[in-house]
Amino acid sequence: MHAWPASEVPALPGSGRDLRIHDTATGGRVTLVPGPVARIYVCGITPYDATHMGHAATYNAFDLVQRVWLDTKRQVHYVQNVTDIDDPLLERAVANGDDWAELAERETALFREDMTALRMLPPRHYIGAVESIPKIVPLVERLREAGAAYELDGDIYFSVGSDTRFGEVSGLDAEAMRLLSAERGGDPDRPGKKNPLDPMLWMAARPGEPSWDGASLGPGRPGWHIECVAIALEHLGMGFDVQGGGSDLVFPHHEMGASHAQVLTGEHPYARTYVHAGMVALHGEKMSKSKGNLVFVSALRRDGVDPAAIRLALLAHHYRADWEWTDAVLHEAVERLGRWRAAVSRPDGPSADALVEEVREALADDLDSPRALAAIDRWAAAQAAGGGTDEGAPGLVSRVADALLGVAL
Ligand code: 5CA
Ligand code: ZN
């Protein structure tokens, strides 16, 4: 699949700082020191509806991670998937009388437009589940040969008991895992499973549903977790720097992904850090396609909202916080954008040399974007108060906002 066009990232004077970030697996903060090529996998959308503010907030968090790395003069190798075949996509297609493949293609195209408008850096590899099937099948076969997978009425399950490290990503107990598994695509109550938590690797073809050649597995379609593992192992390999996604993916998705990969390769870790963004809510409930309480990026854009204001609305919240989307959040972002644009449109202003370091430090400190915004707010206020004759300052502030925050002034 093709990704979307990259917006240019201006270079800044001096050099950036290593990122100290909260790692779900250890429950603490780690200093990430990637090699010259930093490697990140971020779980992509299931394209049965448009990009909502929750998705955008999660992708914003991982865009910041990359901007911090680029500022340290590293290259970034970024991979993202598209879950273009899965139960919710098929269900929505049936409900709407739509063709599932057309629905997926249409929503993925809209997602690309939204990401471009928000100045999110594109992945180097943007890969669909369907196009990955030839990579997924051999992995499932290998797991079965290794005794880590078993068959149940034609479906193939992964045995969580085959991974001695199972549970290390989420740190949850069995009961909590069981509840989340039932909530998030698992089938803990299906009779005949070795462990209720065992996730499906390959689903045998169902009547009326699309299916693909699974070689020795028989015709069917891939499970969710093995999809991301196949794509990450193909394009990043083991031990990549960050596995990212929203906090709703901690369990089962990222736990199972780590287990699949660790059993497949005999190596540890799958990812060096597991980083999770908080959930965005609307009217007191997590924004979700299944509940339908959504604010779409594309709808705001159609209403004439500047994408830079949408981006500022996301940045005003710490990525790990759960927060609520309201009109006031957007209103405040629109006002801030106006103040910043007015401040950088003047021919000179207060020196911004210290500001570069303040924004760098805020982001290196577990992506503290609210603090980064506050630093630019202070510069804009000093500018409005008429202090300073540094001719390079307005341009430098524009470059900082663009390079580190993805905000075009
Ligand atoms: N295709 C899978 C991942 S492999 C999936 O979870 N798709 S999704 O469309 O449901 O979500 C895409 C990304 O947005 C995931 O990282 C998910 O954690 C995140 N996300 C979904 N809803 C929210 C929300 N309300 N707030 C923040 N992030 C969210
Ligand atoms: Zn995923």
Q: How confident is the model at residue 103 (pLDDT cuts 50, 70, 90)?
A: very high
**Cβ(257) to ligand 1 under 6 A?**
no
Is pLDDT above 90 for 390? Answer: yes
Residue 293 burial (CB < 10 Å; 0-12/13-18/19+)? middle
**∠ CA 180-181-187 to the nearest 5 degrees?**
145
**Cβ(214) to ligand 1 under 6 A?**
no
Is pLDDT above 80 for 3? Answer: yes
Q: How confident is the model at residue 286 (pLDDT cuts 50, 70, 90)?
A: confident
Chain-wide mean pLDDT for the chain? 97
Question: What's the rounded mean pLDDT across residues 290-314?
Answer: 94
Is pLDDT above 80 for 8? Answer: yes
Cα-to-centroid distance, 27 and ligand 2 (Å): 21
Question: What atom of ligand 1 comes closest to residue 227's alpha carbon?
Answer: 4
CATH of 1-409, one of 3.40.50.1100, 3.30.40.10, 3.40.50.620, 1.10.10.10: 3.40.50.620
Is pLDDT above 80 for 11? Answer: yes
Comparing 261 with 294, which gets the higher pLDDT? 261
pLDDT tens digits along 191-209:
999 999 999 999 999 999 9
Share of the chain above pLDDT 70, in %: 100
Question: What's the rounded mean pLDDT across residues 154-180?
Answer: 97
**Of 346, 355, 334, nearest to 386 (Cα)?**
346
What is each CA distance from 336 to 20, 137, 169, 303, 308, in whole angstroms?
27, 50, 38, 19, 10
Is pLDDT above 90 for 332? Answer: yes
**Cβ(294) to ligand 1 under 6 A?**
no
Q: What is the pLDDT of residue 331?
A: 98
Output the DSSP codes for 247-275.
GGGIIIIIHHHHHHHHHHHS-S-SEEEEE
Identify the residue whose C-alpha is closest to ligand 1 atom 5: 45
What is each CA distance from 101 to 105, 107, 148, 188, in whole angstroms?
6, 10, 32, 29
Question: What's the rounded mean pLDDT across residues 292-315?
Answer: 95
Q: What is the pLDDT of residue 285?
A: 87
Cα-to-centroid distance, 137 and ligand 1 (Å): 25
Question: What's the rounded mean pLDDT across residues 299-323?
Answer: 98
**Cβ(51) to ligand 1 under 6 A?**
no
Is pLDDT above 90 for 293? Answer: no
Question: What's the rounded mean pLDDT across residues 218-236?
Answer: 98
Share of the chain above pLDDT 90, in %: 96
**Of 115, 39, 130, nearest to 79 (Cα)?**
39
Measured between alpha carbons, how far is 338 from 271 in angstroms, rounded to an integer? 40
Question: What atom of ligand 1 comes closest to residue 281's alpha carbon?
Answer: 25
Cα-to-centroid distance, 136 and ligand 2 (Å): 14
Identify the residue whose C-alpha is closest to ligand 1 atom 9: 45
Question: What atom of ligand 1 comes closest to residue 248's alpha carbon?
Answer: 18
Is pLDDT above 80 for 290? Answer: no
Q: How confident is the model at residue 305 (pLDDT cuts 50, 70, 90)?
A: very high
Order across the sheet with 280-282: list the strands.
Answer: 285-286, 280-282, 323-324
Q: Give yes or no for a cis peptide into 210 (omega within 30° of 0).
A: no
- Of 40, 55, 242, 280, best ligand 1 pocket probe by most atoms within 8 Å of the beta carbon: 55
Q: How confident is the model at residue 321 (pLDDT cuts 50, 70, 90)?
A: very high
Measured between alpha carbons, how far is 124 from 91 in angstroms, rounded to an integer? 30
pLDDT tens digits along 236-251:
999 999 999 999 999 9
Tell me the whole-structure pTM to 2 decimals.
Answer: 0.97
**Other Cβ atoms closer than 10 A to 187:** 16
**Cβ(83) to ligand 1 under 6 A?**
yes
Q: How confident is the model at residue 87 (pLDDT cuts 50, 70, 90)?
A: very high
Which residues contact residue 215 at a Cβ distance below 8 angstroms, ignoring those fewer than 6 apart?
Answer: 137, 138, 141
What are the domain boundaries of the chain? 1-409
Is pLDDT above 80 for 74? Answer: yes
**Cβ(58) to ligand 1 under 6 A?**
yes
